[in-house]
Amino acid sequence: MKTILVVGNGMVGYKFCEKFVAKEESKQFKLIVFGEEPRPAYDRVHLSEFFENQDAKALEMAPAEWYAENGIELIVDERVADIDRTNKTITTAKDRAFSYDYLVLATGSSAFVPPIKGVEKEGVFVYRTIEDLEGMLAYAAKIKAKNPNAKAAVLGGGLLGLEAGKAVMDMGLEPHIVEFAPKLMPRQLDSRSSQVLQLKLESIGLNIHLSKATNQILGDDGYITGMEFGEDDVLDVEMLVVSAGIRPRDELGKNSGLEVGVRGGIVVDNKMKTSDSNIYAIGEIALYNQMIYGLVAPGYDMAGIAVEQILGKADALMPASIDMSTKLKLIGVDVASFGEPFMPASKGHSIIFENKTQHLYKRINVSLDGKKLLGGILVGDASDYSMLHQIFLNGMAIPEDPAQLILPAGEGGGSFGDVMDLPDKAQICSCENVTKGQICGTIESGESKDLADVVSCTKAGTGCGGCKPMVKDLTEATLKSLGIEVKDSICEHFDLNRQDLYKIIQIKGYKTFNEVLDNHGNGGHGCELCKPVVASLMASINADTANKEYAIQDSNDRFLANIQRNGTYSVVPRVPGGEITPDKLIALGEIAKKYDLYTKVTGGVRIDLFGATLNQLPLIWKDLIDHGFESGHAYGKSLRTVKTCVGSTWCRYGMAESVSFGIELENRYRGIRAPHKIKGGVSGCIRECAEARGKDFGLIAVEGGWNLYLGGNGGATPRHAELFAEQIDNETVIKYIDRYLMFYMRTAKPLQRTAAWQERLEGGLDYLKEVIIDDKLGIAEDLENEMQTLVNKFECEWTQAINDPEMMKRFNHFVNSEEEDDNLVFVPLREQKMPEKWV
């Protein structure tokens, strides 16, 4: 059995292990890995996340057990000190010797600390390891205790420096970035994009100092107090993080006589072999093509080549040119560059789209003949990156007017770039190295029938997930090309989608679930998917309340309350616009007290009463209704709240009566069932205290009327609502919202919020304007009438229920006993109660 020693357990060293043990032949080798740090390899790229959770385990590439399970011996906290190439052995700092057949050097790099006077002072850190970060955290806590407004600087405005800036900001220190060059990220960005990035970063609180050469670090008693740039140019800081570049950790190579580069790095060929044919070097110590590649993707590729070479696959070679394209999210800002980001004017033309107000910059470089994409830069919005990168990598033809590649959709752009135009060899998933050909192939062979199959067969999209939209598009387009209809039918019981069912129920006038199922179903008996959909459609079309056919309602609608963790319910009465009288507020408190309910203000700023048993619900509602409350429909896929700011009724900045209009809107749309919940917001001025742009419909008062925003939401995928109409009066607002909601209710998929619906609407916002404002489809009047019918038919479901003894029967836990559920256990929580924790 041959022995491979891997020196260095960083990301690339780990990747070597992962790729190696995945090979069948690996069983004939013994693999020993040495790590200098006290823990197994972790994701250094996401080091700044350590500040958010301080959980080193979460960053691990794989837990320590993984190595053992795969037959790898992992030795951490032990630096390899020396290589004896003649005897093929290494010696560690703990003076232990190991012999090898193959040696893989993956020692990576260390932070470069420039020789500035005073750099040895306390409070100066580098940004490289978890231990560095722990040191920074401890020091930051110390200086913050003395001075809550303490400042910290980062020396270096490159990629890592900005990450460090984020870390410093997260520690609660005032962050300053000091860069020697006249721009940020000098290696990736041109000056204009760098300015856009700078504006964005300044807007979120980073202080940026460019063209600053640090003369010395100032300090008292050995502690840093500031940085001096010029004679009178001093920045007072109490902590400094140096992030001025990296240096390869090539000392082992140098000491053992391997060929090294003039500026460091161990020279390798395209087999990742060093000048000693039993020794490989990969990652940030490998000098390949006279270059050190400081990105993780080329490092991973090198690890793969070394694995193949050691296993005897001579034809596995590193390509001559390495793609240095990157896309990353830096402090929440998209930054991407690909190909040749800076291109001299002699080689081609650049097309630049810049919008400083939105912190957006896009640049593409095209060949002089205008036929090839050579590279580009994206800041602020990198959603075009995947497609542009593919076009560049595959040398695909580009539109006659290349500007179309980066112009926003609807302004002549957005139409180019069909995934099916990519060549088969185009790499779609770079983490798992899956090509377009493989994705389409698994569908064409019949092996995969849908997206889930494609993902499990090819592993595409299982790494970083960035390629998922492309994988989905490719899957759908391939299925379509094979004549396989991509069904969006609601479940196994219907071959119809929600929109089809809507039309059928409306035209045929069905009144019960069984009628719909018997006439249009597949012969089954329905399920938890189609029943609530049909129930919702009946409500949207006939204004039926959930009381009518309660057994097809989802649990919340069935019991007109929100089921909580232990099977009890919460109760939310409507408080339109958030306006409530003191008497009603007192009544809510007294009712909550009477039934011993846990009380909390909800995310939608209403009052939620938790812990009601099924038997208690009608009693609670009887009391609420007696005090003038009605159902808040918090349990329904229906209008929740219209959130308002106080507006001109009280606010000295208010431009309009946002509360009054909010109440009117909430009362208008209350109870109406839709594909998903709906929220509204009305702000009395541009300060937007009601957060109206985060709602399905939002209004902001401006000079001359309201600006109407549509299709926003919070939730898992937050989206700002889009400006739909400006300076319109109350009547027009209601007309547009009526049409909009009804159009959404008619055409959306089940459980699709307006945001997702609007985003996928073919033709986008412009189409929506044509339908709603210009009445292009000639349905505006119908939409308004349908909405008006629903408004007129509104009835409070709880009033309906408690006045009907037959309906009340369902609110008993047992059919044969008045007793309540005896399985409930509550525990105390901050003077209230909560259900016992789940085991």
CB of 524 to other proteins, least distance (A): 5
Closer CB to other proteins, 66 or 550, in the complex = 550
CA distance 370 to 402: 8
DSSP 604: T
Provide CB contacts within 8 A for 404, sequence distance 6+.
Answer: 412, 413, 414, 415, 416
In 3D space, the residue among 169, 134, 173, 163 whose CA is nearest the CA of residue 48 turns out to be: 163
Let me know: does 342 contact 191? Beta carbons within 8 Å: no
DSSP 3-state assignment of 327? Answer: strand
Helix (H) or strand (E) holding 201: helix 191-203
CB of 611 to other proteins, least distance (A): 14
Among 2, 480, 487, 565, binds other proteins (CB under 8 A): 565
Strand 246-248, strand 29-34: pairing: unpaired
827 part of the interface to other proteins, by CB under 8 A:
no
DSSP 836: P
Closer CB to other proteins, 222 or 524, in the complex = 524
CB of 756 to other proteins, least distance (A): 20
CB of 560 to other proteins, least distance (A): 12
CA distance 519 to 524: 11
CB of 625 to other proteins, least distance (A): 23
Footprint of other proteins on 287-306 (CB under 8 A): none
825 part of the interface to other proteins, by CB under 8 A:
yes
Closer CB to other proteins, 131 or 821, in the complex = 821
3-state secondary structure labels for all residues of 416-471:
CCCHHHCCCCCEEECCCCEEHHHHHHHHHCCCCCCHHHHHHHHCCCCCCCCCHHHH
Q: Which stretch binds other proteins (CB under 8 A): 188-196, 559-567, 586-594, 796-804?
A: 559-567
Strand 598-601, strand 639-644: pairing: unpaired
DSSP 3-state assignment of 37? Answer: coil
Closer CB to other proteins, 566 or 667, in the complex = 566
Among 436, 558, 637, 719, binds other proteins (CB under 8 A): 558
Query: Tokens at residue 265, please?
Result: 């790095």
CA distance 28 to 31: 10
Q: Which stretch binds other proteins (CB under 8 A): 284-292, 557-565, 578-586, 762-770?
A: 557-565
Among 489, 566, 599, 832, binds other proteins (CB under 8 A): 566
Closer CB to other proteins, 731 or 822, in the complex = 822
Among 86, 346, 445, 823, binds other proteins (CB under 8 A): 823
Let me know: does 261 contact 267? Beta carbons within 8 Å: yes
CA distance 363 to 343: 11
Among 822, 828, 830, 831, binds other proteins (CB under 8 A): 822
CB of 554 to other proteins, least distance (A): 7
Closer CB to other proteins, 822 or 831, in the complex = 822
Q: How buried is 43 (Cβ within 10 angstroms: 0-12 exposed, 13-18 middle, 19+ buried)?
A: middle
Q: Which stretch binds other proteins (CB under 8 A): 131-139, 263-271, 552-560, 598-606?
A: 552-560
Distance of CA 606 to the CA centre of its chain: 28
CB of 538 to other proteins, least distance (A): 15
Among 210, 563, 625, 723, binds other proteins (CB under 8 A): 563
- Mask 528-547, x = binds other proteins (CB under 8 A)? x-xxx---------------
CB of 748 to other proteins, least distance (A): 21
Taking only Cα atoms into account, the Rg of the chain, rounded to an integer number of angstroms, comes to 32
Nearest 5°: CA angle at 562, between 556 and 563? 85
Closer CB to other proteins, 122 or 821, in the complex = 821
CA distances from 180 to 211, 243, 620 (A): 5, 12, 68
Footprint of other proteins on 781-820 (CB under 8 A): 809-810, 813-817, 819
CB of 635 to other proteins, least distance (A): 12
833 part of the interface to other proteins, by CB under 8 A:
no
- How many residues at the interface with other proteins, by CB under 8 A? 37
Closer CB to other proteins, 190 or 549, in the complex = 549
CB of 634 to other proteins, least distance (A): 16
CB of 533 to other proteins, least distance (A): 12
- Cβ density class 526-555: b for 16+ within 10 Å, e for less: beeebbbbbbbbbbbbbbbbbbbbbebbbe
Closer CB to other proteins, 349 or 813, in the complex = 813
555 part of the interface to other proteins, by CB under 8 A:
yes
Q: Which amino acid is at 670?
A: R
Footprint of other proteins on 490-529 (CB under 8 A): 492-493, 514, 524-528
CB of 623 to other proteins, least distance (A): 23
**Chain contacts with other proteins (rule: CB under 8 A):** 492-493, 514, 524-528, 530-532, 550-552, 554-555, 558-559, 563, 565-567, 809-810, 813-817, 819, 821-823, 825, 836, 838-839
